[in-house]
Structure 1
Amino acid sequence: MSLNSVNTNTGAMIALQSLNAINNEYAQVQRRISTGLKIASAKDNPAIWAIAQNMRGESKSLDAVMSSLQRGQSVVDTALTAGESISDILSQMKEKALAATEDGLSTATRQALSDEYVALRKMINTVAANASFDGVNLISAGSTGNIRALADTRANSSIDVDHIDLSTTGTAISSTLTGLMGGVATADIDAIDAAIQKVSSALSKFGVGAKSLDRHLDMISKRQDTIDAGIGNLVDADLAKESARLKSLEVKQQLAIQALRIANQTPSLLLSLFR
């Protein structure tokens, strides 16, 4: 093909191809800077995009696991707070029961002690019945509420905390006296002591469950952070590097435009040969 042709301008064609390639690369760099991603869609790098997308799905699934664990934490914390109140109430009941063992008490005094004791015992049921979070109560009377918090994204395992009845009808407290007017024996004081120990044991189990939930939540949070960082390593753009490339491409773009302008002027120079 002749280089001195007005029909086919080879130089302009080459200059245009170069300009188009630079413009495509310039658009790609601009897209990376605007999105912050070097791989924003499957066409950028199908294999890496698929890996990153799968990891995003895993990270989103961990959100559900963390929500389940956090809900479990709230349920257990509510039960612990109520259980501690019940333990304090039992201590006050023991105080009233001990006072009622004193010889020579008047009927009015014994009645007053009994009324306080009965009120405290009723308060246990009130506290137990109100120790609910999101409809789950670990210590209420006759409840079967328990915690089965998700432990992984496949729902294969869970962090379990079982229900323990801490009302006056539960095995922990039911053996305590219902009132003091019928007299208080050593066995009755022992029954209150036993109730305090059983409540403490129940609180210890809830505490173990709370610790398990806390530890697993911390582990899941760290795992999610690691996954998110891994996704970033795969698809995030190096903005400093892309910024430098953008400046370089701007210069190349101007040079390519100038080269195309020169190439387009070449055929007109042939006119001078005919003057």
Structure 2
Amino acid sequence: MAININTNVTSLFAQKALNGSTMGLADSMSRLSSGLRVRSAADDAAGLAVSEDFKAKIRSLNQANRNANDGVSLAQTADGALSEIGNMLGRMRELATQSRNGTLNDTQRGFLDDEFQELKSEIDRIVETTEFNGVALIDGTQAAGIEFQVGVGTSSNDRLTLSIADSDPTALSISSSTISATAGASAALTALDTAIEEVSTRRAAIGAMQNRLAVTMSNLDTYAANLSAANSRIVDVDVASETARLTRQQILVQAGASMLAQANQGPQIALSLLR
């Protein structure tokens, strides 16, 4: 090979190789420090597109999970109120049973009826004040149904609906009930049996929805975890493989720097020939 002074071809080739190795080293260090194989579209355009879609779905799934959790809280609030109403209906039935006893006089039945009417008023108060985040629950407002968005789409399969009928004394057909006389107490017993059954039916429906929401949350967790794993396989760096690549690039950089130093000695050799 000819020895040139103006153009050190060997040095140029060594510089090119060193630059490539240095860039490879920087790239490998960037992947390891970020933990990502795909940091931009330049790394893997198709992979990035799939990853962005996965990440959007994962965020939606997590929100759907929170929606379902809010639905459970709402259902628990409604069920708690209906439980109290059921307890009061039970007490009212106890009072009606006592009022029918022939050993009582009208004055004593009047005392029983006073408590009976107070319990009806309390049921009405509970119905009017039971709400979740400002949404009335058991006053008939939600008879058409409360929708919970528990999916990432807009189809009916992505929503669950909970219907809660009005549970005030009028809706339960006990608003006019009285136990101040045995005849009224007898009619009240029949009406209360029906009311207790209706409240129990509503609580059963709410309980079933709570269980369904719990299952839905579990499925959403699984779906999100699977998508996260799939996204990881696309964009996350393989640490073992990338570490091996890093070591290789470090060796190439060191070798390139050494060769460049030697290549730069070429002009000095030419100069020594002129002495």
User: What TM-score do you get using the length of structure 2 for normalisation?
Assistant: 0.91
| Conservation of the 8 A alpha-carbon contact between 1:3 and 1:9 | no
1:20 aligns with 2:38: no
Cα distance, 1:108 vs. partner? 3.9
Show the counterpart of 2:227.
Answer: 227
Show the counterpart of 1:165.
Answer: 166
How far apart are the structure 2 equivalents of 1:142 and 1:254? Answer: 76
Show the counterpart of 1:257.
Answer: 257
| Conservation of the 8 A alpha-carbon contact between 1:26 and 1:249 | yes
SS for the counterpart of 2:265 is: helix
How far apart are the structure 2 equivalents of 1:163 and 1:111? Answer: 34
Show the counterpart of 1:266.
Answer: 266
SS for the counterpart of 2:161 is: strand
Q: Deviations over 1:189-234 (max 9, x none)?
A: 1211111111111111111222222212221221111111110010
Q: Deviations over 1:109-138 (max 9, x none)?
A: 222211211121112122222321122233
Which residue identity is paired with 1:192?
L
How far apart are the structure 1 equivalents of 2:42 and 2:4? Answer: 40
SS for the counterpart of 1:216 is: helix
How far apart are the structure 2 equivalents of 1:37 and 1:209? Answer: 41
Cα distance, 1:164 vs. partner? 1.0
Which residue identity is paired with 1:159?
L
Show the counterpart of 2:47.
Answer: 48
Structure 1 segment 168-183 matched on structure 2, within 5 A: 168-170=169-171, 173-175=172-174, 177-183=176-182
Count of residue correspondences: 272
How far apart are the structure 1 equivalents of 2:243 and 2:128? Answer: 63
- Identical positions, percent: 27
Show the counterpart of 1:201.
Answer: 201
Using the TM superposition, name which of 226-235 and 248-257 deviates more: 248-257
Cα distance, 1:46 vs. partner? 0.6
How far apart are the structure 2 equivalents of 1:92 and 1:144? Answer: 27
Q: Deviations over 1:83-113 (max 9, x none)?
A: 1111111111101111111113234422221
Cα distance, 1:23 vs. partner? 0.9
- Displaced runs of 4 or more, over 6 A: none
Show the counterpart of 2:32.
Answer: 33
| Conservation of the 8 A alpha-carbon contact between 1:147 and 1:160 | yes
- CA change 1:129–1:261 in 2 (3 A) is same
User: What TM-score do you get using the length of structure 1 for normalisation?
Assistant: 0.91
Cα distance, 1:26 vs. partner? 0.9
Which residue identity is paired with 1:193?
D
Q: Deviations over 1:53-80 (max 9, x none)?
A: 1111121222332232222222111111
Show the counterpart of 1:74.
Answer: 73
SS for the counterpart of 1:79 is: helix
Cα distance, 1:145 vs. partner? 6.8
Where relative contact order (Cα < 8 A, 6+ residues apart) is larger, the structure is 2
How far apart are the structure 1 equivalents of 2:121 and 2:227? Answer: 51
Using the TM superposition, name which of 201-210 and 40-49 deviates more: 201-210
| Conservation of the 8 A alpha-carbon contact between 1:138 and 1:145 | no
Cα distance, 1:153 vs. partner? 1.6
What is the Cα-based RMSD across aligned positions, in Å?
1.9
How far apart are the structure 1 equivalents of 2:77 and 2:260? Answer: 75
How far apart are the structure 2 equivalents of 1:109 and 1:36? Answer: 80
How far apart are the structure 1 equivalents of 2:239 and 2:195? Answer: 65
| Conservation of the 8 A alpha-carbon contact between 1:90 and 1:192 | yes
How far apart are the structure 2 equivalents of 1:126 and 1:80? Answer: 16
| Conservation of the 8 A alpha-carbon contact between 2:177 and 2:188 | no
Show the counterpart of 1:127.
Answer: 126
| Conservation of the 8 A alpha-carbon contact between 2:178 and 2:188 | no
- CA change 1:103–1:174 in 2 (3 A) is same
Which residue identity is paired with 1:3?
A
| Conservation of the 8 A alpha-carbon contact between 2:150 and 2:160 | yes
Structure 1 segment 121-160 matched on structure 2, within 5 A: 121-141=120-140, 144=143, 146-157=145-156, 158-160=159-161
How far apart are the structure 1 equivalents of 2:228 and 2:143? Answer: 38
Q: Deviations over 1:218-259 (max 9, x none)?
A: 212211111111100100012233233323322321221111
